[in-house]
Chain A
Amino acid sequence: MSGDTILLAVVLMLIGGLFHMVPRLTRPDLFFAVTIAPEFRRASGGQRILRRYHAIVWSATLAAILIELAAGMPLAAVLVLGGGFLWALVSAHGRALAYAVLPSPILEVDLAAPREGLPGGPMVAVLPLLFLGGLGLWAGLHWNRLPQRLPVHWGLHGADRWVATTPASVFGSLAVYASMCLLLIGVAWGLLQWSRRISTAGEGAAAERGFRRRIMQLLIVTEYFLACPAWFMVFQPSAAAVNVWGLALTAVIAAFAVSLLRGG
């Protein structure tokens, strides 16, 4: 059994865990995309739907892991996991529809709610873009110092896929990283400006603000992590440095997931 197979099995397990948490990552009055009374989640009907959803998700996860470990078919394993997740969602949605309620016609807004902004200010969000721009400038000015080939993919033992150093490969890759950073800034900005507040007052509103802030922090931290591979590509540090980046990324994502769950 190869290291890649074991790694994929672990990733499948982690994805299964993420799918397990999906029903919690929503508003209290939404349950599998159905408007329900907030207390329904804890009632026996809600718990029954949730148990069935978890059973389908974990069955699909175990089946996917077995397919990968026994037959070494990664595509089939991913399809089984994805298909199981979709089936679990559709099935839970259908069952939750029986408990749907009409949304409240009373809408409230707290006019004294504190103003929110991007965590750390706009400069913190834009910095990775400036870094990528600076890297592109450096590459343009020191073209002769760039290696003959550039790494574009890294495994546990360092870079394992390469492309020839051409203007298209260098500036194209930097443009891709910059586009991803722009997309993350756009999502954070949209969350701030164009998302509807659900709780308007009290602890619920404060918790919601905290949740939104954590999501924005995650998006901006991800930008910084995205800028790193561009640096790896141009300066080609050791495999250990790349692994430290991978471990740090995993730790940050895990910390945010725990923080989001604890924040409710």
Chain B
Amino acid sequence: MILRIDLRSSIPVYRQIVDGLRILLVNGEMKPGDQLPPVRRLALDLGVHFNTVAEAYRTLEQEGWLEIGRRSGARVVARAVPHKADPGTGEAFERRLRELAAEMQARGFPRGRIARELRRLAESLERS
């Protein structure tokens, strides 16, 4: 269960931590009851300020993935999935997907490869 961040990336480190942890949570690699490393431990191992990790944990807490206790640390909790997504949110995510595909193209990824990656992602989503 590896969390990976890229210091060269234009994406802020805090966002990379949130995104990386969310992938593990959505895929079920981290289950309710699992304990996350303490903020200072994770910050030290990643070589980032502990406020960066604390902010990432708080974001995931607000999304309902984590419960943060003063002494017990961050723990994964069972999250109630919203029954119906907000239509506005769907449009925003679609736009982000298009933006991401455009960015990949701009960085030199061939269209065929982008399409293959998206298809692979769609298939894994359908399977899960």
Contacts and interface: CB of A to CB of B under 8 A. Distances in A.
Interface stretch (A45-53, A62-70, A130-138, A195-203): A195-203
Interface string B40-57: 111011110000000000
A196 B3 contact: no
> Which residue among A105, A107, A194, A201 has the maximum number of chain B CB atoms within 10 Å of its CB?
A107
B78 to A, nearest CB: 18
A193 B42 CA distance: 11
A111 B36 contact: yes
Interface in A181-211: 193-197, 200-201
A65 B114 CA distance: 69
A197 B2 CA distance: 13
A108 B6 contact: no
B47 A105 contact: no
B47 A196 contact: yes
A206 B78 CA distance: 31
B1 A107 contact: no
A106 B4 contact: yes
B2 A201 contact: yes
B64 interface: no
Contacts of B45: 107, 109, 196-197, 200
B7 interface: yes
A106 B30 contact: no
Contacts, number: 47
A1 interface: no
Interface residues of A, number: 16
Interface in B1-58: 1-8, 24, 30, 36-37, 40-42, 44-47
Contact of B42 (A109, A112, A195, A201): A109
Contacts of A105: 6-8
B8 A109 contact: no
A110 interface: yes
Contacts of A113: 37
A111 B75 CA distance: 12
Contacts of B44: 194-196
Contacts of B40: 193-194
Contacts of A194: 40, 44
Kindly list the 3 A-B residue pairs having the minimum CB-CB distance in the complex, ordered from nearest: A105-B7, A112-B1, A105-B8
Given A106-B5, A107-B46, 4 more contacts: A107-B5, A107-B47, A196-B47, A197-B45
Interface of B: 1-8, 24, 30, 36-37, 40-42, 44-47
27 contacts: A106-B5, A107-B4, A107-B6, A107-B7, A107-B45, A107-B46, A108-B2, A108-B5, A109-B2, A109-B3, A109-B37, A109-B42, A109-B45, A109-B46, A110-B1, A110-B2, A111-B1, A111-B2, A111-B3, A111-B30, A112-B1, A193-B41, A194-B44, A196-B44, A196-B45, A196-B47, A201-B2
